[in-house]
Structure 1
Amino acid sequence: MAKVAFLLASGFEDSEMKNPYEAVKEAGHEAVIIGLEKGAQCDGKKGTVSYKTDLGAAEAKADDFDAVVIPGGSAPEALRVNDDIVRFVKEINDQGKLIAGICHGPQVMISADVLRGKAATCYIGIRDDVKLAGAEYRDEEVVVSENIITSRTPDDEPAFIREILAKLN
């Protein structure tokens, strides 16, 4: 059983959190929501789901986790400017553990400088940012590059979830 961190702030894309989160739990893994503060309420941008954070980023230790998932929407913009979130993602990468981001999720990866030399995809609006971060951009539903998994939009969730679960099992 893997322990998977989900990085979250309000404004996330509802299905990009809900579907991977539920799939990870249904597969028997532990899912922990990490936000800017412990116990913070995070609301989806469409208002269909909301979550409370289990842990604040300052308390998060990469040694305690096997993977991190970063849903898209506008939440990654709030997360990427937090030093503790960036540190956590860098440490996960340094340990060679799985980092998965969909839509705008790779914005956090850009700030943590973990895309350099990797292949990646993302929401089209941040394509140039991904390229400038040193990644080889690919317009595909899911791209797996070593320990990094990326997808573009909610339409890509089945492939995104499939690859996450394949890496965890």
Structure 2
Amino acid sequence: MAKVCFLLANGYEDSEMKNPYEAVKEAGHTADIVSLEKGVELKGKKGTVSYTSDFSISEVKADDYDAIVIPGGGAPEALRINDEVVEFVKQANEQGKVIAGICHGPQVMISADILKGKNATSFVGIRDDLKNAGSNYMDKEVVVDGNIITSRTPKDEPAFIREILNKL
């Protein structure tokens, strides 16, 4: 079974964390919540779910995981400005690990500079950011390019989850 890292900070899109997290665990995989600090409560922007971080980013290495999932909402903004998070995602990509981002999640991938030449999608509000990062933006429910999986919005979660589970 795979070991999956969910990169999380406050203000994430509730369902974009809850649904993939539960699906990964139901499929028998291990799911760790990694944030900027260990043991802190992280609240979704709609307030329907909250999680406590298992590890801080300084406690983990890309080697520890088979995949990284980055839910959207406001959380990716807080994550992408942290050098350790950016380096973690960059190293995971160099190791060919699955990296999945939905909605604003690809912002972390942009900061890690791993989307150049890749097909990708995202929330329409960061479409130009993806293009400026050198990716080929596609307006589709899910885009898989090698080890990178991206989706647009909560309504795309079934396809996003399906592709994550396929890769695991």
Normalised by the length of structure 2, the TM-score is: 0.99
Amino acid corresponding to residue 91 of structure 1 in structure 2? Q
Displacement of 1:59 in angstroms is 1.2
| Counterpart position of 1:9 | 9
Normalised by the length of structure 1, the TM-score is: 0.99
Displacement of 1:132 in angstroms is 0.4
Could you list the runs of 4 or more consecutive aligned residues of structure 1 that deviate by over 6 angstroms after TM superposition? none
| Counterpart position of 2:114 | 114
Amino acid corresponding to residue 156 of structure 1 in structure 2? D
Deviations 1:94-150 (CA, angstroms, capped at 9, x unpaired): 000100000000000000001011000000000000000010000000000000000
Query: What is the distance in 2 between the residues matched to 1:122 and 1:25?
Result: 24
| Counterpart position of 2:27 | 27
Query: What is the distance in 1 between the residues matched to 2:154 and 2:30?
Result: 23
| Counterpart position of 1:141 | 141
Residues 92-111 of structure 1: pairs in structure 2 closer than 5 A: 92-111=92-111
Amino acid corresponding to residue 145 of structure 1 in structure 2? D
Displacement of 1:40 in angstroms is 1.4
Query: What is the distance in 2 between the residues matched to 1:89 and 1:40?
Result: 21
Query: What is the distance in 1 between the residues matched to 2:91 and 2:59?
Result: 13
Query: What is the distance in 2 between the residues matched to 1:59 and 1:151?
Result: 28
Deviations 1:8-27 (CA, angstroms, capped at 9, x unpaired): 00000000000000000000
Give SS of 2:114's match: coil
Amino acid corresponding to residue 84 of structure 2 in structure 1? D
Give SS of 2:161's match: helix
Residues 1-169 of structure 1: pairs in structure 2 closer than 5 A: 1-168=1-168
Give SS of 1:143's match: strand
Identity of aligned residues (%): 73
Give SS of 1:139's match: coil
Cα RMSD for the two superposed structures: 0.4
Give SS of 2:158's match: helix
Give SS of 2:139's match: coil
Give SS of 2:92's match: helix
Which runs of 5 or more residues in structure 2 are unaligned?
A: none
Displacement of 1:47 in angstroms is 0.2
